[in-house]
Amino acid sequence: MATSVDPDEDLVRRVGEGDPAAIQAMVARKLPRMLSLAQRMLGDAAEAEDVAQEAMLRAWRQAPRWTPGQARFDTWLHRVGLNLCYDRLRRRREIATDAIPDSIDDGPAPDRGLLAAETGARVEQALTRLPERQREAIVLCHYQELGNIEAAALMEISVEALESLLSRGRRALRTALADIAPHPGAGRDGRQGMRGGGAAARAEPLWRGTR
C-alpha cells in the first residue's frame, strides 16, 4: 500500500551509508521520543534509558536494509520501542516481588515549583496504573503526538477501537487525579498550577477529554 512521503527517508538513507552527521542527527531527533515513550510505558527511568538505547541501536542496524515506501520509519521505530517495553513488562509479571512502590505525599507543596513537580509525579504514577493497551493509546496519541490513524495502525486495531481505549484511559486518569484536575470553568489561578511544562502541563487536555 502506498504511503505518504516519509520525512525521515533521506536521513535513514544517509545513516545506512554510514554518514556520521546523519547518525548524530538521528539520535538527536529520535532518542528523546524513545525515552519519553519508554518512560511512560514503564515508569522507570533506568529501564526507559535501556529501551531507548536498544531501539536506537536497532534503528542504526536497520537503516542499511530500510526499503522506502513500505512504512514510515518513525512508525517502525515506535513499534520497536513498544515491543521492547512489552518484553520488560512481561518479565515483571513473571518475577514475583514484594517491593512496595514509593508512595506520593499528597500534602500541599510549599511553592508552585514543588506543586508542579508533585503533580507531574502523580500523573506519571496514574499513567503506569492504566491497563497496558489504554496506556499505550494515551502515550502514542497524547504524549508522542501521533494521529489517531497512525496510532491505530501501529497498535493493529481500528480507529474506533483506539478511540474507545483513549476514552476509557482518559476517564480512569480523571478519576485517579480528581483532586488535582482543574474544575470546569476554573479561572486563571485554577490553571496556573498545571503550567510550566512536563507531565503536569501536558496532562490538562486529558482532563478536558481532548488530545
CATH of the domain at 38: 1.10.1740.10
My answer on whether 116 and 197 are in the same domain is yes
Alpha-carbon span 84 to 89, nearest angstrom = 9
Give the domain-ending residue among 29, 59, 94.
Answer: 94
Check whether 209 has a pLDDT greater than 60: no
In 10 A of CB 101, how many CB atoms? 9
Check whether 4 has a pLDDT greater than 90: no
The predicted pLDDT at position 117 comes to: 57
Mean pLDDT of the chain: 79
My answer on whether 43 and 86 are in the same domain is yes
Contact between residue 104 and residue 122 where contact means Cβ atoms under 8 Å apart: yes
Q: Quick one: CA torsion of 31, 36, 39, 45, rounded to 10 degrees?
A: 50
Cα-based distances in Å from 136 to 6, 154, 171: 23, 10, 15
Give the pLDDT band (50/70/90) at residue 33.
very high
Contact between residue 134 and residue 172 where contact means Cβ atoms under 8 Å apart: yes
Query: How crowded is the C-beta side of 98, counted as CA atoms within 13 Å?
Result: 0
Alpha-carbon span 59 to 43, nearest angstrom = 23
Backbone angles phi, psi at 157, to 5 degrees: -135, 170
Asked if residue 180 is part of any domain, the answer here is yes
Among 36, 43, 38, 73, CA closest to 58: 73
Find the mean pLDDT for residues 104-126.
58
Q: What is the DSSP letter of 147?
A: -
Between 49 and 201, whose confidence is greater? 49
The predicted pLDDT at position 100 comes to: 46
My answer on whether 22 and 64 are in the same domain is yes
The predicted pLDDT at position 122 comes to: 82
The predicted pLDDT at position 112 comes to: 42
Name the residue type at position 96. A
My answer on whether 88 and 23 are in the same domain is yes
My answer on whether 76 and 159 are in the same domain is no
My answer on whether 78 and 116 are in the same domain is no
Q: What is the DSSP letter of 141?
A: I
**In the chain, pLDDT over 90 holds for what percent of residues?**
53
- Name the grid cell of 132: 497496558
Check whether 179 has a pLDDT greater than 50: yes
The predicted pLDDT at position 31 comes to: 96
